[in-house]
Amino acid sequence: MKKKTRTTILGAVALSLVQIGVAQNARQWELGISGLTGRNYYEKKYYGQSQLAPGWETNFKSDYLWSAGIWAEKKLNSRFSALAELRYTEEDVPDNMFCECNSLSESPYDDEKLYHGTVEAGLRYYVNPTSKVVFFLDGKANIDWLIGIQETGYRYMDDQVYHEMHWNSYGYKRFSPSVAFLLGAKRKRLSLSFGGIMNIARSTIRDAGTYERIVHPIKTGFFGKGFFVKTSFTLIKLK
C-alpha cells in the first residue's frame, strides 16, 4: 500500500513538473531575423477598356525579389504561437509596367524597382512540438506599403544610364492587404519554410489623371500573388 501511495505521489510530482514546463514554454518569447527570396506574378487591369492597345501588358512577373525582416513570436501554448513581423522588400519588374511613361522604350537597361515595407501578423501551429525537428504551419495577414519605385533607363542623347526615384509611386495607391500561408521546419534556432502570398483585393490602383507622364491617362490596377522560400534565425529567447 505504501509503495502504491509513493508511486502515486511521484507520478503527481512528475505531472506537475511537466505542466510547469509547458506553462513556462507558453510564456516564452522569441525575437529574430529573417530573409526570403521568391517571385511575384501580377495581373494588370485597364479599367473601362474594351480593347487593349498593342504592347499593353496584362500579366507579368518580377525578375527578382529579396526581403529582410525582424520578427517576434509569443508562445500561447505548446502548439500555438502568435507572430508579428516587420519586413523590407526590393523587387525588380520589367520596364514600364507601372509607369507607362514610354511604351516605345526597348533599351536593355530599362526596368523598374519596387520598394516595399510590410507589417505582418498571424498564428503558427506546431505539428510535433516535442520533436527535435519541429514542423509548423503559418497563416498571416499583411499590410504592404509601396514606398516608392525606381526607374532605370538609357538616355540616347547623353549616352548614359540613369536612375530616377519616384517617391509618389507613379500616383498609385500605396497600401495593399494580402494573406500568406507557410509550411516549414525548425530545429533549435533555425527554420526554413516555403510559402505563398496573395492580395485580398486589387488595391494598387492609379486613377486617371493622377500622374502626368503616362502615355494613356486611364485607370489601371494590379492584383498580385507569389511564392517564396524563407529562412529565419532566433536571436533572443525571453521568458
Instruction: Return the beta strands (E) in 47-189 as ranges.
Output: 59-61, 64-75, 80-94, 111-126, 133-155, 160-166, 175-187
Residues 139-157 have pLDDT tens digits of: 999 999 999 988 877 666 7
The answer for 5, left when phi > 0, alpha when psi is -120 to 50, beta otherwise, is alpha
Round to whole Å and give the CA distance between 189 and 187.
6
Residue 156's pLDDT is: 66
Residue 23's pLDDT is what?
45
Mean pLDDT of 214-236: 87
Please indicate whether residue 107 or residue 166 has the higher confidence score (pLDDT).
166
So what's the pLDDT on residue 204?
84
Cα separation, 179 vs 91, whole angstroms: 18
Q: What are residue 206's phi and psi, to 5 degrees?
A: -120, 120
High-pLDDT (> 90) share of the chain, % = 50
Residue scoring higher pLDDT (100 or 226): 226
Pick the most confident of 37-41, 99-103, 209-213.
37-41
Domains present along the chain, CATH in parentheses: 29-238 (2.40.160.20)
- Does residue 238 carry a pLDDT above 70? yes
Residue with cell string 516549414: 184
pLDDT on residue 107:
52
214 pLDDT tier (thresholds 50, 70, 90): low
> Which residue did the predictor score with more confidence, 25 or 146?
146
For the chain, what is the mean pLDDT? 82
Q: State how far the Cα of 39 lies from the Cα of 129, in Å rounded to an integer.
A: 31
